Copies of this chain bind each other. A is one copy, B any other.
């Protein structure tokens, strides 16, 4: 029997915002399952802001996707057929299978997940890369202390929503910044942040200053641009700024007009003894056991909530991804590629 996989490939490198013609949806025939290999059917596929960077041909932490390659992504899949001793048909697994419906895998870098622990989609969300980005970035780099003020951008998103709730668990005062009013309401009423501002308000600087009378001790940066500009004048001595993303800048074309703000930042780093540190979660995987234990415990106790935003069908992934970069998603964006047998 021949198995085909529908794939979303990179057709062209985006200039600025990605558009439909930058993606190509095509169907390829998969080879037979070889020795030690397995055929996997993808159930859920993650869409994350970092993917925008990988569409560019610039030096970054990960090699760029090549034109004609399948777009990369974390996925949850079911093993359909297996010649690999470690996996059996019916196993639910997670791995970086990309934007496609089926794949042949040799099992390297693949992890079995337990459907009894939580809905399997969370393996690419709150119990996967985004949740761990929040956990490690906030705790290991942000080092929040009880009573401190923590500001979180993209507060209703996959990472930001977890950052703010973990900061609350650690006894901090937490201010979120999000877009739409319904997101801000969700962040305060459902997730329990102390306050949430909209970056559409036109008055973010003054509003944030009013909400942070004691300054800001931790700013979890995943946006860049005007949220950082509003945070910067309020930053406290010894503040920590973990940087895991800069979504507002990913599709920016060209330079940035003056004045040059870099000398002001350097002066503040010195006089305020700031720590600003970038990190990539895949390089901190040793923290996974602590992360999984803590976060699954918090989910079970109700201390930590998560919201997923499902899109049906691989063919809708490009449109959903373009929306993600504009903040149109509401919660962790997940493509439902095929039926979830555990749901």
**Residues of A with Cβ closer than 8 Å to B?**
53, 59-61, 221, 224-225, 228, 237, 243-246, 249, 252, 255-267, 269-280, 283
Contact = CB atoms under 8 A, between A and B. Distances in A.
Given A260-B261, A262-B265, A270 B245 contact: yes
Q: Report copies per complex.
A: 2
A56 to B, nearest CB: 11
B263 A260 contact: no
Contacts of A270: 243-246, 278
**Most chain B CB within a 10 A radius of its CB, from A60, A225, A256, A267:** A267
A-B interface, 10 closest residue pairs, ranked by CB to CB distance from nearest: A258-B258, A256-B260, A261-B262, A270-B278, A269-B278, A275-B277, A273-B278, A60-B271, A255-B259, A262-B262
A276 B277 contact: yes
A203 B227 CA distance: 37
Contacts of A262: 256, 260-262, 265
Given A258-B258, A269-B243, A273-B61, A249 B263 contact: yes
Contacts of A259: 255-258, 260
28 contacts: A53-B271, A61-B237, A224-B266, A228-B266, A243-B266, A243-B270, A244-B270, A245-B270, A246-B267, A246-B270, A249-B267, A256-B260, A256-B262, A256-B263, A257-B259, A257-B260, A258-B259, A261-B262, A262-B262, A269-B278, A270-B278, A273-B277, A273-B283, A274-B278, A275-B275, A275-B278, A276-B276, A277-B277
